[in-house]
Amino acid sequence: MPRDLDQGRIVIVGASLAGLRAAETLREEGFTGSLTVVGDEPHPPYDRPPLSKQVLLGKAAADATALPARRGLDADWRLGVAATGLDAAGKRVLLADGESLPYDRLLIATGTRARPWPDPAQAALDGVLTLRTADDAARLAERLAAGPRRVLVIGGGFTGSEIASACRERGIEVTVAERGPAPLVGALGGTLAKLAAGLQRAHGVDLRCGVTVTALRGNGRFTGADLSDGDRVDADVCVVAMGAVRNTEWLADSGLAAGRLGVACDAGCRVFDAYGIVTDDVFVAGDVARFPHPLFEYQMLALEHWGNAVAQAGVAAHNMVSPGPLRRPHLAVPVFWSSQFGVNVKSVGVPSFSDQVVIAQGSLGERRLVAVYGYRGRVTAAVTVNMAKWLEHYQGLIETAAPFPPGPGAADGHPLVTEFPVPSNVPDPRGLLHGPTVALTGHLPDRRLTLVRPGG
Amino acid sequence: MAVDTLLERITDHANRPDPYPLYAELREAGVVRQTDGSYLVGTYYDIAALLHDPRVSSDPRNLAPPYREVVPEAGQLSFIRLDDPEHHRLRGLAMRPFGPPHSPHRVDAMRGQIASITAELAEALEGRTRIDVVEDFAYPLPVTVICRLLGVPREDEPVFREWSAAIVDVADITPGQDPGERRTAGEQALTEMGRYLVDLAEGRRGHPGDDMLSAFVNEPGGAFTREELAATAVLLLVAGHETTVNLIANGVLTLLRHPDQLDRLRREPDLLPAAVEELLRYEPPVQIRRRTPLANIDVAGVTVPKGVPLILVLASGNRDPKRFPDPERFDPARTDNQHLGFGGGVHLCYGAPLARVEAQTALGALIPHLGAATLLRDPPAYRHNAMLRGPRHLPVEL
């Protein structure tokens, strides 16, 4: 790399998966300058997927999920201090402790936080929790270990569903309240979400769909909640799993294209300013980024996926130390997974970027299947339930824009198309209680709208 | 020479010591129909895609009539030759006492045993100046390990050695030969070995030991039928050692051919796991797998018709320059080494974790002895098998 790119000062704001992987890549690619990593939590980088699974089951301690460092980083870690602002012209990151950090190049990797219960007084009741950080997981695991009579989970997205699964595995009664028609509907669409609903009920979850929680009750301690259908749930613990909020407030006065939907960037992770002009010294990666993806009609995607954080951080870091012609685009096909209620769910592509779905292998009855999603006649996603080893094939179909529905001839004894394609029933995300883990932030597919509000 | 004889040349025993130039020719030629009707594929990305393609079957009953052989009933086929959902069910049952989620520590817990078996074998080499790496080391190690794991008496090895040879022989690819006699011998060996293993297992019903045959017959609620148990146990015993022998022998041969890398591994033993992966890429024991398309499928611009034999040359994909930089170079420190040595997709080698531990342990123990070793015969005498390639003997002077 040219002399000027392997030296200087790089600041990474965000000390989680994307921040750590970017820091490692910078050093691997030969960056010898000063490297500072800022994180608002006091902990060194840790892994989040186990927090809603093994930790809640009591199989791992919340403070035992530290991410392994692949190499010595020779970095200045500023942990337990939040970034509060960005002076883009003066090239300084402002910190909560009053200090500021000068940089030559900046990586924004501030991720998301749990969306809180909107009523602060109710949210403050003892027993009302969220799950995003290791500290959150430790608190919730402690509550579950104490044997509550019932847990109320508000929101049936991946986090909410995994919490409910952990509760049932521990023999704890649990109610899930979801505003949409089924759990996971935002990620999988209404058709496959029926399977998720069936799984939850088969495992004894008291699943309430099409309702909202109107109030949390309690006198100092949480005792129950009122539902919009007039019913009431008595419980000792309430987990608010209403999706995530992107940590962009600190960029409000930065002049960058940062807002509710994330920090907008080009395919090379370079952040746009508020006028849509690409910056050359500010990069973004991970959950907080929104970027155009050619496989999805250049829709601006914001992905809350582990794999995306890793891949995008690698590309961002590479581009931070590479001259223009050697920069790479972030074109990874989105992948995510979840384990809940004894099944492994894995997805490739963007299921919510679809209008139809078909069961290509396996069957709903066996709870072992591949669902393939299409949009206007081409394959855009596939979701496996306990059949993840086939996913690579479908990734190939997505990458090559193969026609939808895929042709016949699967090796599992069924014809490839066991059912005719049916509408995938992807709901408008505004109708969900849990936020979607993939946000299509542009205007396609055409049933969606982006609501632009002043200051929003 | 005409391209359509490539398969015959690959399977010709004269080319066993070095099939790699033929593989390069194959990659150059693309997907081409052979005179016997089969289609050969040798490029990495095409093979990887076919291994993950649900339209590609492992079940020989899906071959079209001119290619179909007399094949056993479903219950007599092992899961390596079945498709989902039967493959999944049987492999899942076979996995219960072997790996996650039910037995996550089984292979890891065998490290100590594998190390002590290896140490005994290495000890027996002390003071000797000439050894046969195959007979003295590469063969006895995996045989002893798989016997312990399955619960097969080690002293029965002379009995099952012949059965195993006949079974492996019938699985080989031999275009232009009359398979009649070999097939009869193979079928008979399968039946006899299956009966032998089922009898062993049945003897443990109700009073299980800590071995897999015991686990299979004492599964609550019953699991395998008698035929399924026979097919599964035969597969595990045969595949559990015939492959690892070649991995270790090919490994020693490769290291002796690359003294600088041997020296490097002596100095940097931490490289051993990566070196084993590189051996699986560079000299894989399983060179070829057969499949059958269930539909007309497009492979690299060629339509491969439904029901014809599809021959995936894994060892050729492993040296595809479009996937591996400098693929003809043996580099124990190679990164991004997603080789095809264990196949891929749902049939990804069941025994891979065990094979890795055995090869790492074996080479780790042998490397200190190989300081001044020289190959007495290079290339060595190879086994006849083109699919399962490795030296029959590997004489070395220490």
CA distance B190 to B345: 26
Is the minimum CB–CB distance between A323 and chain B shorter than 8 Å? no
Residue A96 distance to chain B (closest CA, Å): 41
Is the minimum CB–CB distance between A446 and chain B shorter than 8 Å? no
pLDDT at A333: 94
Closest Cβ opposite residue A409 in set B49, B52, B295? B295
Residue B306 with chain A: CB contacts under 8 Å: 409
Q: Which of B43, B90, B82 is nearest to B224 (CA)?
A: B90
Count Cβ atoms within 10 A of the Cβ of residue A62 and give its class: 0-12 exposed, 13-18 middle, 19 or more buried: buried
Is the pLDDT confidence value at A409 over 60? no
If you measure CA to CA, which chain A residue comes closest to B51?
A393
Q: Is A404 helix (H, G, I), strand (E, B) or coil?
A: coil
Residue B29 distance to chain A (closest CA, Å): 23
Answer whether A390 sits within 8 Å of B348, measured CB to CB: no
Average pLDDT, integer, range A366-391: 93
CA distance A366 to A68: 37
Contacts of residue A161, Cβ cutoff 8 Å, sequence gap at least 6? A176, A183, A184, A196, A200, A338, A340, A341
Residue B304 distance to chain A (closest CA, Å): 14
Answer whether A360 sits within 8 Å of B54, measured CB to CB: yes
Q: Which of A386, A412, A417 to mutate to test the interface with B (most CBs of B within 10 A)?
A: A412
Is the minimum CB–CB distance between A368 and chain B shorter than 8 Å? yes
pLDDT confidence bin for A419, thresholds 50/70/90: low
With pLDDT > 70 as the criterion, what percentage of chain A qualifies? 90
Answer whether A408 sits within 8 Å of B48, measured CB to CB: no
Query: A 372-401 residues with CB below 8 A of B?
Result: 387, 389-390, 392-393, 396
Chain B residues with CB within 8 Å of chain A CB: 48-49, 52-59, 83-86, 88, 293-295, 297, 306, 345-346, 348
Residue A340 distance to chain B (closest CA, Å): 15
Contacts of residue B32, Cβ cutoff 8 Å, sequence gap at least 6? B3, B4, B6, B39, B40, B302
Answer whether A413 sits within 8 Å of B345, measured CB to CB: no
pLDDT at B2: 45
Looking up tokens 């000792």 gives A236
If you measure CA to CA, which chain A residue comes closest to B59?
A411
What are the residues facing A38 on neighbouring strands?
A: A13, A78
Dihedral sign computed on CA atoms, order B156, B159, B165, B167 = negative
pLDDT digits (tens, 9 = 90+) for A61-71: 999 999 987 77
Q: Which of B61, B84, B299 to mutate to test the interface with A (most CBs of A within 10 A)?
A: B84
Is the pLDDT confidence value at A416 over 50? no
Looking up tokens 């990887």 gives B48
Report helix angle B44-51 to A391-399, nearest 10. Answer: 120
If you measure CA to CA, which chain A residue comes closest to B62?
A411
Q: Which of A29, A390, A394 to mutate to test the interface with B (most CBs of B within 10 A)?
A: A390
Residue A410 with chain B: CB contacts under 8 Å: 54-55, 294
CATH number of the domain located at residue range(s) B3-397 in this protein: 1.10.630.10
DSSP tag of A126: B
Cis geometry, peptide bond prior to residue B85 (ω within 30 degrees of 0)? yes
Name the residue type at position A318: H
CA distance A130 to A117: 9
pLDDT at B221: 73
| B175: number of Cβ within 10 Å | 18
Is the minimum CB–CB distance between A413 and chain B shorter than 8 Å? yes
Is the pLDDT confidence value at A418 over 50? no
Average pLDDT, integer, range A82-103: 97
CA distance B38 to A155: 55
Answer whether B84 sits within 8 Å of A413, measured CB to CB: yes
Answer whether B83 sits within 8 Å of A411, measured CB to CB: yes
Answer whether A390 sits within 8 Å of B52, measured CB to CB: yes
pLDDT confidence bin for A191, thresholds 50/70/90: confident
pLDDT digits (tens, 9 = 90+) for A305-339: 999 999 999 999 999 999 989 999 999 999 999 99
The CA distances from residue B393 to A212, B125, B162, B262, in Å, are 73, 16, 17, 20
Residue A351 distance to chain B (closest CA, Å): 20
| B357: number of Cβ within 10 Å | 20
Closest Cβ opposite residue A389 in set B49, B294, B345? B345
Instruction: Return the domain boundaries, chain A.
Output: 9-54+64-113+245-326, 116-242, 353-425
Cis geometry, peptide bond prior to residue A49 (ω within 30 degrees of 0)? no
Q: Which of B51, B55, B59, B91 to mutate to test the interface with A (most CBs of A within 10 A)?
A: B55
If you measure CA to CA, which chain B residue comes closest to A387?
B346
CA distance B334 to B276: 11
Residue B85 distance to chain A (closest CA, Å): 5
Residue A156 distance to chain B (closest CA, Å): 27
If you measure CA to CA, which chain B residue comes closest to A368?
B85
Q: Is A83 helix (H, G, I), strand (E, B) or coil?
A: strand
Contacts of residue B363, Cβ cutoff 8 Å, sequence gap at least 6? B248, B251, B252, B255, B265, B272, B275, B276
pLDDT confidence bin for A431, thresholds 50/70/90: low
Average pLDDT, integer, range A267-274: 95
Contact assessment for residue A151 and residue A187, using Cβ atoms and an 8 Å cutoff: no
Class of domain A9-54+64-113+245-326 as given by CATH? alpha beta
The CA distances from residue B344 to B9, B24, B56, B294, B325, in Å, are 26, 21, 13, 18, 21
Second CATH level (architecture) for the domain A116-242: 3-Layer(bba) Sandwich (3.50)
Answer whether B49 sits within 8 Å of A361, measured CB to CB: no
Answer whether A368 sits within 8 Å of B85, measured CB to CB: yes
DSSP tag of B173: -
Intervals of chain B under pLDDT 50: 1-3
Q: Which of A393, A398, A416 to mutate to test the interface with B (most CBs of B within 10 A)?
A: A393
Torsion angle of alpha carbons B79, B80, B83, B85, nearest 10°?
A: 30
Element (H, E) at A174: strand A173-178
Answer whether B84 sits within 8 Å of A360, measured CB to CB: no
pLDDT at A417: 42
pLDDT at A446: 45
Average pLDDT, integer, range A335-355: 94
Looking up tokens 């591994």 gives B265
Looking up tokens 């099409």 gives A210
Answer whether A409 sits within 8 Å of B345, measured CB to CB: no
Weakest-pLDDT range from A298-302, A427-431, B136-140: A427-431
How big is the A-B interface in CB pairs under 8 Å? 59
The CA distances from residue B357 to B115, B141, B262, B339, in Å, are 9, 12, 19, 17
What are the residues facing A197 on neighbouring strands?
A: none
Do the domains spanning A9-54+64-113+245-326 and A116-242 agree at the CATH topology level? yes
Looking up tokens 């045993």 gives B113
Q: Which of A264, A211, A203 is nearest to A233 (CA)?
A: A211
Is the minimum CB–CB distance between A403 and chain B shorter than 8 Å? no
Residue A366 with chain B: CB contacts under 8 Å: 85
pLDDT at B5: 82
Answer whether A390 sits within 8 Å of B56, measured CB to CB: no
Tell me if ipTM is over 0.90.
Answer: no
Closest Cβ opposite residue A412 in set B49, B84, B345? B84
Looking up tokens 């339509």 gives B303
pLDDT at A412: 55
Count Cβ atoms within 10 A of the Cβ of residue B37 and give its class: 0-12 exposed, 13-18 middle, 19 or more buried: middle
Contact assessment for residue B57 and residue B67, using Cβ atoms and an 8 Å cutoff: no
Q: Which of A301, A303, A266, A298 is nearest to A283 (CA)?
A: A266
Answer whether B55 sits within 8 Å of A362, measured CB to CB: no
| B301: number of Cβ within 10 Å | 7
Closest Cβ opposite residue A412 in set B52, B54, B295? B54
pLDDT confidence bin for A447, thresholds 50/70/90: very low
pLDDT confidence bin for A450, thresholds 50/70/90: very low
Is the pLDDT confidence value at A281 over 70? yes
pLDDT confidence bin for A426, thresholds 50/70/90: confident
Weakest-pLDDT range from A299-303, A424-428, B189-193, B256-260: A424-428
**DSSP string of A317-333, one letter each residue:** HHHHTS-GGG-----PP
Closest Cβ opposite residue B54 in set A366, A368, A410? A410
Answer whether A393 sits within 8 Å of B52, measured CB to CB: yes
Answer whether A416 sits within 8 Å of B55, measured CB to CB: yes
Q: What is the pLDDT of chain A when averaged over all its residues?
A: 90
Closest Cβ opposite residue A408 in set B85, B295, B345? B295
CA distance A407 to A394: 12
pLDDT at B73: 67
Is the minimum CB–CB distance between A361 and chain B shorter than 8 Å? yes
Closest Cβ opposite residue B57 in set A396, A411, A416? A411
State the alpha helices, DSSP H only, in A240-390.
306-320
Q: Which of B47, B53, B63 to mutate to test the interface with A (most CBs of A within 10 A)?
A: B53
| B8: number of Cβ within 10 Å | 16
Contacts of residue A116, Cβ cutoff 8 Å, sequence gap at least 6? A123, A130, A240
